[in-house]
Structure 1
Amino acid sequence: AVRSAPIDDSVDFAKSNNFSHQAVVGVLKSLHSREIVEISQKRIESWQLTDEGSRCRDHGSPEYLLKEILETFGETPKKVVIEKFNALLPSSILPVDQTEGKIPKSAGEKMLDIAVSQGMKHKIFKIRNDGDVFISLTKPDFHDDVREACRKISSGIPLESTKAYEVLKKRQLVYQSITTSYAVKKGPKYDSSEREVAVDLTRSMLQNRTWKNMEFKPYNLNAAGALQPTGSIHPLMRVKQEYREIFLEMGFTEMETSNYIESSFWNFDALFVPQNHPARDAQDTFFISDPKSSAPPVDTYLNKVKSVHESGEGCESTGYSYVWSGEEAKRNVLRTHTTAVTARILYQLAQNRDHQYGKFFSIDRVFRNEEMDKTHLCEFHQIEGVIIDKDLSLVHMMTVLKQFFQRIGIQKLRFKPAYNPYTEPSMEIFGYHEGHKNWIEVGNSGMFRPEMLRPMGFPSGSHAIAWGLSLERPTMIKYGLKNIHDLFGHKIDVSFCKRSPIYRV
């Protein structure tokens, strides 16, 4: 066909020769790859009738059919109109309403709803409610423009304006169809006697020596090879390792965090969290039923914690003025924060009188009985950091946090005053999420209270600054994820692990 004249439209060519357009496109692309023909792609946009649009073309619009009924019978009760519609049209013409919990509507009821809705807009009908609903005609000279428009579209005649198409589209009478077509002309290697180009050198070609007279398709030695199935590291674990390396470069020592189950003593009491605090309720904490409790620490430390809770003894504090329960402190929980690990490390450090300072961190899982949404999970990772030394202040902590977040690419930070039972002063940390275009909380921070440090054995001149940060939320901010379930949990797309660009550069 190209030999005699270029092909302007591959769709028309396929129709006129009774070919499948998809098959024609396949041949054209094959010839184009060998430079036998040149092709140029073009998009053809057209409007097509839906099933409802075809019904309007054949029978008329619902409002026009209602007008004809009212012209014949005058003011008519709604029930009678429905009967007329049902008699006029087969029940298969319009879909009935199958919404769960609702009585299905007949084709006539559905038709009447559409007719009245459109007719009231154009003031064609009037409705009177007198025990029963009566419908009357107010505009007898009404012309069925909808049917006329549907006929034009069916015949390929363009409508007067884009707005006319949009009106029909809104009524679900038409839809826009986009077809890709190709214009074709001769290429630089066009030859009517073009031989078939071989792709592979086969055994038979070698045996028969036919390869000497054959033309082979050029090999693209720069093409990428097929991807082989391989294992990959979860994106969150990559970021965890990145954060771990940052802490190590900043001079921190990693804490051991293998205990997912902690006693309430280390998770709450050692941190000066009162036993009647809401965080210790089942609504916020997962309690373990077997084993239900753990052995308490040494009596000396246990009694000091008890005295601090009850009266604030040795800390210039009044405590919480309640009777502290040793049994409550034994209850096992899934740790709600890795600060329980920090408490153990600080207690061990305090027993060494000659070396009571250091910088420590941990990154591991914690568990909270929280309602899940796009930024919250019941199981997540917490980054825990603590510095214990003399004469530390809140300024030291803010400086360390800004240095850390700048290293992971989060430049915008805010600090908001907050309350924590075991830190004073306390601050919430917020990072700016470029995807959500707002600030989201990424952690809490503060200075450990004397009521926590003194019972452990630290002298009055020692101070500890500490913070707990989410691992998931900074990762979401850095890489533009809007939903935490896309990063962690059972809903994650496994292929995301392979194609994820999350790694340190």
Structure 2
Amino acid sequence: MADVTASVLDALAASEGPILSTDAFPSIPSLTVKSALDRLASRSMVEYETIDREVVVLTEEGESIAANGSHEAKVFEAVAAAMEGLKISDLPNLVGKDVAKVGQGNAFKRGWIKKDKDVLRPNVDSIRDETREQLQAIKDTQTHPDSKVIADLKKRKLVTLQKAISFRIRKGPKFAREFVKEETDLTADMLASGAWKTVQLKPYNFRAKGAPAQSGALHPLNKVRQEFRSIFFEMGFEEMPTNRFVETGFWNFDALFVPQQHPARDLQDTFYIADPKTADPPRADPPNDPHLSRLASMPSSGGAPTQPKPVDFQEYWDNVRQVHETGKYGSIGYRYPWNPEEAKRLVLRTHTTSVSAYMLHKLAQDPRPARYFSIDRVFRNEAVDATHLAEFHQIEGVIADFGLALGGLIGFMEVFFGKMGIHKLRFKPAYNPYTEPSMEIFGYHDGLGKWVEIGNSGMFRSEMLEAMGLPPDMRVYGWGLSLERPTMIKYGVSNIRELLGHKVDLNFIETNPAVRLDKD
């Protein structure tokens, strides 16, 4: 930078008027020159104006023709050198396949050669290689007076147009031959030594406008997530801890009555941990977890609970095994040998229902009506498309109470989504290993013009609940909802990848008023 700055000052000092950067510094990149000019202009040592122009430059093929002649000239020379004429089939061997293909047609067009059956003969005594002359002229001047020539050469891909930037530079009101460094800070050493009297201090720019102030904005997913949390709290729910992204197969599958041969446990559907592959036998919850120990249940809204004998975790483990192998609590089971090692395999959790499972197991120690929810990330080994992601957010909720029925779950979903402004809902019977009856929940997407599945729900099976030690007369609603799909419906987004990942358009937040951050 210092060398270029000095070169600019030297060039201006030697000139009586303005100078052009292309003439004075032909080998220095324009960006380097501009940096030096900005530095000098900020001190009023120089003034400059930018000159934008379009120049014509030769392509690699154009450079070759300018140096060695055009394709048609090479073809003429080869034909003229053959005393008895040149067979058409021999031309590519002499000048090359590409040169023969292009040059032969152009030579015929200019009348330089003629065809006698399968033999080429010269049609003129001498030629003028205009293409080479035109390219040489463009190479020297970066332009051509005839625009038709430029258009023709561009069509033949022999030249291309590029933007060139140059500067017209003149002396400023504070022009000096030497560049004096300006100090930006007044230091204690300058005051102590008296150097502040002689140093050149950089003046403040009081006219600088600064960066434009912009109000903040929430990402649509965070905004809808906070709305969901507010609705849950308003409806009397308490948030569950979800800080375990890696789960055992026991909590993620086995405790939920999912058989070990279920397709969801295949590699193509689930991400398994490679190192370590398995865990120690699972515990009911992380030791010394103050958040789990403080979770309180809702006051009773139904009859008095039946207090069962608390089930320790080893007994719970054995109950789950028996439920899978031979059946229990009114179930005949899946009739297969349950493998404890499979239950200890580590996975990236495929749903937050694993969190609900160990929360319900803890609730079994003191059964009472309770409402829990969680919103966090889950992972599925799925192909990414307009409506599916491999990593997404799940909204999980459970309601435990006495005397619950399926109609209450439907009514709750209608109230819950109504608070979100989503009123078009449909419920479809479904199958889940851990709920019976089960329902898929669909919401209408105005942008896509179709119904989109946004969640799954049902009443937890007695095989799952009684194995934990919950009383037989306690019922539990359970549901899992996507965070992304209700957000798509709310904001009219047709592709889920516009909300998460590398295809996120940050302008979406600016252009969608519903996502703007409210003052309240």
Question: TM-score scaled to structure 1, two decimals?
Answer: 0.60
Counterparts of 1:412 and 1:68 in 2: how far apart (Å)?
A: 82
Q: Match of 1:346?
A: 360
Counterparts of 2:344 and 2:451 in 1: how far apart (Å)?
A: 30
Give deviations 1:71-99, integer Å, cap 9, x for gaps: 54445465x545523xxxxxxxxxxxxxx
The correspondence for 2:337, drawn from 318, 325, 329, is: 325
The correspondence for 2:183, drawn from 199, 213, 217, is: 199
Alignment of 1:416-427 (within 5 A): 421-422=432-433, 424-427=438-441
- In the alignment, is the contact (CA less than 8 A) between 1:419 and 1:427 conserved in 2? no
Matched position secondary structure for 1:29: helix
Deviation at 1:202, TM superposition (A): 8.3
Is it true that 1:173 corresponds to 2:158 in the alignment? yes
Matched position secondary structure for 2:56: strand
Alignment of 1:191-340 (within 5 A): 198-199=182-183, 212=197, 216-220=201-205, 243=225, 247=229, 250-251=232-233, 252-257=237-242, 262-285=247-270, 286=272, 289-291=277-279, 297=316, 299=318, 303=322, 313=330, 322-327=334-339, 330=343, 332-334=345-347, 335-340=349-354
Is it true that 1:57 corresponds to 2:66 in the alignment? yes
Deviation at 1:167, TM superposition (A): 5.9
Give deviations 1:33-63, integer Å, cap 9, x for gaps: 2335432222122112234312212322334
Deviation at 1:481, TM superposition (A): 7.1
Is it true that 1:469 corresponds to 2:498 in the alignment? no
Give deviations 1:294-333, integer Å, cap 9, x for gaps: 6672555654566779xx947xxxx8x8524333774534
Deviation at 1:278, TM superposition (A): 1.6
Give unpaired runs (5+ residues) of structure 2: 1-11, 111-116, 211-217, 283-313, 505-515
Alignment of 1:424-443 (within 5 A): 424-427=438-441
**How many residues are paired up?**
425
Counterparts of 1:349 and 1:45 in 2: how far apart (Å)?
A: 76
Q: Match of 1:400?
A: 416
Q: Match of 1:229?
A: none
Name the aligned partner's letter for residue 397 of structure 1: M
Counterparts of 1:385 and 1:20 in 2: how far apart (Å)?
A: 59
Is it true that 1:147 corresponds to 2:132 in the alignment? yes
Is it true that 1:451 corresponds to 2:461 in the alignment? yes
Q: Match of 1:131?
A: none
Q: 1:206 to 1:336 in 2, by over 3 A?
A: closer
Deviation at 1:195, TM superposition (A): 9.7
Q: Match of 1:12?
A: 23
Deviation at 1:158, TM superposition (A): 2.2
Matched position secondary structure for 1:66: helix
- In the alignment, is the contact (CA less than 8 A) between 1:356 and 1:458 conserved in 2? no
Question: TM-score scaled to structure 2, two decimals?
Answer: 0.58
- In the alignment, is the contact (CA less than 8 A) between 1:386 and 1:465 conserved in 2? yes
The correspondence for 2:144, drawn from 158, 163, 182, is: 158
Counterparts of 1:256 and 1:356 in 2: how far apart (Å)?
A: 19
The correspondence for 1:46, drawn from 39, 45, 55, is: 55
Q: 1:400 to 1:305 in 2, by over 3 A?
A: farther
Q: 1:51 to 1:343 in 2, by over 3 A?
A: same
> Percent of aligned positions with the same letter in both sequences?
25
Q: Match of 1:499?
A: none
Counterparts of 1:412 and 1:136 in 2: how far apart (Å)?
A: 83
Q: 1:268 to 1:14 in 2, by over 3 A?
A: closer
Is it true that 1:360 corresponds to 2:373 in the alignment? yes
- In the alignment, is the contact (CA less than 8 A) between 2:255 and 2:357 conserved in 1? yes
Counterparts of 2:193 and 2:362 in 1: how far apart (Å)?
A: 84
Counterparts of 1:210 and 1:292 in 2: how far apart (Å)?
A: 71
Counterparts of 2:336 and 2:223 in 1: how far apart (Å)?
A: 41
- In the alignment, is the contact (CA less than 8 A) between 1:47 and 1:176 conserved in 2? yes
Deviation at 1:256, TM superposition (A): 3.3
Name the aligned partner's letter for residue 457 of structure 2: M
Q: 1:120 to 1:448 in 2, by over 3 A?
A: farther
Matched position secondary structure for 1:397: helix
- In the alignment, is the contact (CA less than 8 A) between 1:244 and 1:363 conserved in 2? no
Counterparts of 1:176 and 1:260 in 2: how far apart (Å)?
A: 55
Name the aligned partner's letter for residue 154 of structure 1: K
Matched position secondary structure for 2:44: coil
Give deviations 1:170-198, integer Å, cap 9, x for gaps: 655334343322234565x4577999574
- In the alignment, is the contact (CA less than 8 A) between 2:225 and 2:375 conserved in 1? no
Q: Match of 1:97?
A: none
Deviates more, 1:245-254 or 1:369-378: 369-378
Name the aligned partner's letter for residue 345 of structure 1: M
